[in-house]
């Protein structure tokens, strides 16, 4: 009967029960549909890639692409070889297969999600509070004496920037990848917060001590911290590098990798950009992108105690840490906020990096990265670890390391003609001498002036040393550079070796000082060892009419950093009257090819 739920004229109890069950099933069906609708978005963005080519770029994407139905163009990047398409979520698998049949298409992937931190406006804060604990901890308020800075631009990829806020430096260029226009204004506040932190370190600090030099390039890839995509991230990275950004800050991330981001990071790296990203706020060591990329400096967060923040991610990609809790920053509409997260820590590292870049423009991106690593305050276990990386970044340490490295680069320009690099030591009377090789916690540059009497291999020699699974390294120079030292070979005399130890210890050595040992050296930097087993001053290094060393760079194993350079003929801090420690290795700059000679354990020449 039409319109009846039960096939009976009289409504019985059983019929009522059937109606009730049917109603419940229908209600559950509706609710289930609503849940699925919430869990599964109606549309999905696919990224379609062209292949890489022999020139280092990517095959062109045709301007008129014959695409399957029910999809629309979203984004296009000829430089990175991809387009982004929006499709119905229930057709992802089918359309992916259709796209892979197109001749120029080499790969298709679903666009990865990216997330950044959150901030909260604080009505009680009415200024930038330059004396906040985080800035004090990393030495932002310290004087460093340099007055002239070169221009430096930092791209902030996030939710945009309030360019009218007094704590945000000069804003130039940029783009809004959400609304597709050139006005990346911030309606969320997170991007403004990061911009202000970078500015308060690199711009305000430079205004008071050095003279302003900073420019901010805002790249807006999300309305807020939960609405970002890897495709927009990739476009923003490439766009910022095309605009000439020296530093690119990425205060966001996600668990899924993106080929688009990887291509963009490589693109920016080749243009000389320093890329910095937050390690993530999930208290996890799971993968996190774009920070988990070897070309990116991944920054974790520490608390006031210098302990890792409760939310900070960690892992093998963590490179540096900085304060990331209760950080005061600017907010849109001339207000101020307080927030916590690894993105704040990354912004502090970006600010210090910008100041180093501006103060020492001759340093490359790789050298700046080296400066940050070598000058960081080691936290946790000795040496790099998965929680703190190389340690806590500070501005005074970074400035000092940059000055030292710049000096070494300047020394390379020195040239002295018609001289042969040769260090000689005359033969002694003893054939066998017992000595002790002292090691400090961390890395040690060591060398021996004569062969081991026992001919022990490095495996045997350092068998009781806990190297924490670190490889023993030797430096070959030229195109070889650092190479792992064969553990089944002995220590070669006069050659510098890099050895790791977890504590203060010593290794007994029995040297055979009979005979003459020669080591070839080349023009430029060489890693060589002291030719004697006693302390000697650098100026005592023997040289003839045809030889001259230009500079020496010793490594301080106790402090785990390089000491100031020793310059031939100099006085004071760089004077050549400073001592060379026995059994130590050091870098020396030579002006031509030659050889190093050792024939004794004595100090007579």
Which active-site residues does the annotation give?
A: 158, 190, 343
186-195: burial string, b at 16+ Cβ within 10 Å, e else = bebbbbbbbb
What radius of gyration do the chain's Cα atoms show? 31
Cβ proximity of 586 and 445 under 8 Å: yes
352-376: burial string, b at 16+ Cβ within 10 Å, e else = bbbbbbbbbeebebebbbebbbbbb
Integer Cα distance of 423 and 419 in angstroms: 12
Cβ proximity of 237 and 265 under 8 Å: yes
Cβ proximity of 537 and 576 under 8 Å: yes
3-state class of 530 per DSSP?
A: coil
Query: Euclidean distance between the first and final Cα of the chain, in Å?
Result: 119
The helix (H) or strand (E) run that includes residue 38 is helix 13-39
Cβ proximity of 87 and 70 under 8 Å: yes
Q: Which residues pair with 392 in a beta bridge?
A: 321, 377
Structure tokens at 365: 């991106």
3-state class of 58 per DSSP?
A: strand
Structure tokens at 569: 């003929």
Residue 229 Cα to chain centre, angstroms: 22
According to DSSP, the β-strands at 561-562 and 549-556 are: antiparallel
Q: With 0-12 CB in 10 A as exposed, 13-18 as middle and 19+ as buried, what is 165?
A: buried
Q: How far is CA 137 from CA 317, 341, 486, 584, in A?
A: 23, 17, 42, 34
Cβ proximity of 54 and 36 under 8 Å: no
Cβ proximity of 236 and 178 under 8 Å: no
- Of 211, 213, 214, 171, the residue nearest 191 (C-alpha): 171
The beta strand positions in 51-146, using DSSP E, are: 71-77, 82-88, 105-110, 113-116, 120-121
10-40: burial string, b at 16+ Cβ within 10 Å, e else = eeeeeeeeeeeeeeeeeeeeeeeeeeeeeee
């Amino acid at each position: 009967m039409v319109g009846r739920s039960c096939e009976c004229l009289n409504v019985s109890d059983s019929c009522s029960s059937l109606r009730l069950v049917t109603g419940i099933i229908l209600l559950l069906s509706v609710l289930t549909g609503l849940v699925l609708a919430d869990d599964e978005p109606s549309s999905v963005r696919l990224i379609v890639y062209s292949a890489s080519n022999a020139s280092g770029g990517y095959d062109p994407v045709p301007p008129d692409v014959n695409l399957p139905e029910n999809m629309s163009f979203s984004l296009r990047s000829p430089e990175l070889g991809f387009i982004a398409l929006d499709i119905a979520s229930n057709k992802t698998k089918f359309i992916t297969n259709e796209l892979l049949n197109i001749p120029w298409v080499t790969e298709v992937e679903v666009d990865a999600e990216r997330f950044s931190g959150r901030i909260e406006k604080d009505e009680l804060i009415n200024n930038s509070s330059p004396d906040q604990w985080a800035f004090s901890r990393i030495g932002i308020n310290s004087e460093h004496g340099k007055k002239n800075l070169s221009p430096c631009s930092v791209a902030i990829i996030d939710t945009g920037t309030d360019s009218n806020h007094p704590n945000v430096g000069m804003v130039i260029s940029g783009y809004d990848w959400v609304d597709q226009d050139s006005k990346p204004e911030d309606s969320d506040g997170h991007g403004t917060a990061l911009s202000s932190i970078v500015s308060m370190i690199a711009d305000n600090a430079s205004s008071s001590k050095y003279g302003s030099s900073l420019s901010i390039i805002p790249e807006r890839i999300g309305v807020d911290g939960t609405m970002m995509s890897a495709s927009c991230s990739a476009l923003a990275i490439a766009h910022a590098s095309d605009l000439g950004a020296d530093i690119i800050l990425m205060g966001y991330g996600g668990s899924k990798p993106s080929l688009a981001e990887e291509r963009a990071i490589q693109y920016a790296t080749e243009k000389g950009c320093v890329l910095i990203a937050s390690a993530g706020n999930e208290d996890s060591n799971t993968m996190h992108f774009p920070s988990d990329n070897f070309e990116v400096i991944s920054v974790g967060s520490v608390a006031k105690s210098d302990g890792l923040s409760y939310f900070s991610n960690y892992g093998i990609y963590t490179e540096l840490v900085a304060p990331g809790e209760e950080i005061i920053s600017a907010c849109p509409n001339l207000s101020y906020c307080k927030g916590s997260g690894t993105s704040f820590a990354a912004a502090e590292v970006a600010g210090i990096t910008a100041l180093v870049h501006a103060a020492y423009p001759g340093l490359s991106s790789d050298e700046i990265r080296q400066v940050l690593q070598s000058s960081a305050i080691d936290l946790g276990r000795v040496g790099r670890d998965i929680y703190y990386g190389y340690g806590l970044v500070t501005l005074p340490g970074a400035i000092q390391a940059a000055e030292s490295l710049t000096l070494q680069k300047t020394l390379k320009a020195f040239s002295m003609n018609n001289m042969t690099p040769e260090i000689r030591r005359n033969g002694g009377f003893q054939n066998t001498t017992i000595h002790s090789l002292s090691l400090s916690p961390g890395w040690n540059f060591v060398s021996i002036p004569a062969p081991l009497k026992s001919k022990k291999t490095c495996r045997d020699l350092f068998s009781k040393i806990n190297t924490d699974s670190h490889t023993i390294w030797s430096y070959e120079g030229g195109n070889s550079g650092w190479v792992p030292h064969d553990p089944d070979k002995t220590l070669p005399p006069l050659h510098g070796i890099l050895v790791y130890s977890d504590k203060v210890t010593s290794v007994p050595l029995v040297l055979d000082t009979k005979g003459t040992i020669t080591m070839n050296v080349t023009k430029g930097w060489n890693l060589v060892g002291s030719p004697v087993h006693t302390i000697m001053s650098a100026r005592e290094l023997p040289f003839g009419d045809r030889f001259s060393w230009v500079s020496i760079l010793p490594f301080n194993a106790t402090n785990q950093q390089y000491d100031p350079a020793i310059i031939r003929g100099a006085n004071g801090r760089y004077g050549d009257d400073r001592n060379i420690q026995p059994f130590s290795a050091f870098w020396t700059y030579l002006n031509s090819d030659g050889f190093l000679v050792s024939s004794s354990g004595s100090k007579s020449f």
